Amino acid sequence: MNRIGRREFVHLAALGGASTAMPGWLVSAVAETEREYLLRSASEFERRGSSATRTPVRVRGRVESSGRGVPRVCVSDGLSVVRTDSDGRFELTTAHGSSFVFITIPSGMRIPLNPAGTARFYEPISPDPGGEQSVRFELSPADRPDDRHAALLLADIQTQDEQEMRFFHEQTVPDVVKTVGELDGAPCFGLSCGDIMYDELWLYPEYERGVAATGIPFFQVLGNHDLDFEARSDEASANTFSRHFGPTYYSFERGAVHYVVLDDVFWHGAGYLGYIDARQLAWLEADLRHVEAGRPVIVALHIPVLGSGHLREGRDRPELGVSVANREALYRLLEPYDAHVLTGHTHENDHGFDGGVHEHVAGTVCGAWWSGPICWDGTPNGYAVYEVRGEEIRWRYKATGLPAETQIRAYGSGADPAAPTEVVANIWDLDPEWTVVWYEGGDRRGRMSRRIGEDPMSVELHEGPALPVRRTWVDPVRTRHLFYAPVEPGSRVTIEATDRFGRTYSAGV
């Protein structure tokens, strides 16, 4: 997301904000947008060309491993989902608009790769003159069990030019390599959570070069800055992305966890909104029929499902450019599961618990659009790390270039002019299960007070019309992960925070 220019995020003032339950007029407006997109799609294919098929294709194939069929693997065209038989064979007839046939990579199998290291779980639909296609997916057993594994979520890499690509290659990639090396040999993969690019899609190969250098497979999520903006329909807007990375929504499994990637950036020809179209919801319902109730399900998408920006700014509704308008439909499909939703887009760190799911809004690789070392809420540039053991999922935020234990930034009294006698702590990965206390002169004084405010470093680096130099439109944003405590002048203060997993972090001022 950015805040200026033709490609700024769409406020859609004519549609207003989305409430938790969309009002009827808003449902109609969004549905009309989708209908218009469907009506335009045929002419879009004729004008620009598209890999999507306009007539059904009978696809027959097999999922194999060392010449033997792999049974019970889910195969899809993006709408229907079938399973391979005991010999690994499948057959499906594609729906209108299908571009790929793809599999749900099963647990225990290696993630197949494109040459650049991105996941290759798909094949383009390309029928023969008779309207049929034969497809073979080759899998190989993983060299280590994946019931214990790790996922690295890189939100908003968002490189716009060669200089920012150098930042990614020289700062982020080595840090990811180091983190992977510290995970005690657990199998790892990456998830780029949208806005891989900052509109300049010709840089995708440089992103792929970075992926290859990490040494781990990467899955990709479509972001609003990854679109072909000249497209007149949502489907055609992902053409360049799909040429590099395949379908914009799909699923895969690692250990006990079922992972889902969704596309919640709906392009209507003049802008975008957060919306999951009917085709995806139908596919997701079919996909989840093959997942046992109670299992962990992790869904990655770009735009937050809800977020909390509207609450921090004193509004009761989120804007449609920073939330998913029809999120209730997603919540209902995820009800039977231990569901986590991973998002990016807003360049801040946050946790929410609406609709029975835990939403993780991750701080970004690029911070405040590569303007300095932090996001505009004070979260350091970085990425999230999820460690899985069986059905247990633990997470932490990893600040680029800093030790994994760095989870607090502490400020001395007076750093916030509104609280001149209080110390301030920014604890960016905060969720309701954390406890935060302070010690003064070695004595425990109690819990700190949580307040909404602006991070002092963000104020210093971002406030004012000339700051930051690279993105002067960036300003501090209000965050709800700040803590305050009154102290005596000249006192030595230690702040101690304990997360929901019992890990304790400290910082002193």
Q: Annotate 146-172 with b (16+ C-beta within 10 A) or e (fewer).
A: bbbbbbbbbbbbbbbeeebbebbbebb
Average pLDDT, the chain: 91
* pLDDT at position 504 over 90: yes
The pLDDT assigned to 13 comes to 27
Confidence of residue 19 (pLDDT cuts 50, 70, 90): very low
* pLDDT at position 20 over 50: no
Strand partners, 395: 386
Q: How far apart are CA 256 and CA 378, in angstroms?
A: 34
The pLDDT assigned to 18 comes to 32
For 117-133, the pLDDT digits (tens) are 999 999 999 999 999 99
* Cα dihedral 137→143→146→151 (10° resolution): -80
The pLDDT assigned to 55 comes to 87
The pLDDT assigned to 11 comes to 32
- Residue 1's closest CA among 264, 209, 206? 264
**Which amino acid, 451?**
R
Residue 241, SS3 per DSSP: helix
The pLDDT assigned to 42 comes to 36
Domains of the chain: 58-138 (2.60.40.1120), 409-508 (2.60.40)
274-to-241, 323, 462 alpha-carbon distances in Å: 18, 5, 27
Q: Which residues contact 214 (CB under 8 A, 6 or more apart)?
A: 117, 173, 176, 177, 180, 190
For 428-487, the pLDDT digits (tens) are 999 999 999 999 999 999 999 999 999 999 999 999 999 999 999 999 999 999 999 999
Average pLDDT over residues 269-288: 97
6-20, 71-85, 136-150, 493-507: lowest mean pLDDT where? 6-20
Confidence of residue 53 (pLDDT cuts 50, 70, 90): low
Q: Annotate 354-388 with b (16+ C-beta within 10 A) or e (fewer).
A: bbebbbbbbbbbbbbbbbbbbbbbbbbbbbbbbbb
Give the count of alpha carbons within 13 A of 183, CB side only.
26
Furthest CA-CA distance within the chain: 83
Confidence of residue 1 (pLDDT cuts 50, 70, 90): low
If phi > 0 it is left, if psi is from -120 to 50 it is alpha, else beta; for residue 158 that is left
- Residue 190's closest CA among 261, 104, 248? 261
Q: Do residues 135 and 59 touch, judged by C-beta distance below 8 A? A: yes
Q: Which two tokens stand for residue 447?
A: 């819990």
* pLDDT at position 491 over 90: yes
Percent of the chain's residues with pLDDT above 90:
88
The pLDDT assigned to 44 comes to 39
* Cα dihedral 327→454→474→402 (10° resolution): -90
Q: Which two tokens stand for residue 414?
A: 């007076």
DSSP tag of 116? T
* pLDDT at position 352 over 70: yes
**Which amino acid, 52?**
A
The pLDDT assigned to 41 comes to 39
For 60-93, the pLDDT digits (tens) are 999 999 999 999 999 999 999 999 999 999 999 9
Place of tokens 């960016």: 428
The pLDDT assigned to 288 comes to 98
Q: Do residues 347 and 375 touch, judged by C-beta distance below 8 A? A: yes
Strand (E) or helix (H) holding 193? strand 188-193
For 183-213, the pLDDT digits (tens) are 999 999 999 999 999 999 999 999 999 999 9
The pLDDT assigned to 51 comes to 54
Identify which has the larger pLDDT, 34 or 70.
70
pTM of the model: 0.91
- Residue 383's closest CA among 119, 179, 166? 179
> What is the gyration radius of the CA atoms in the chain, in angstroms?
23
The pLDDT assigned to 9 comes to 32
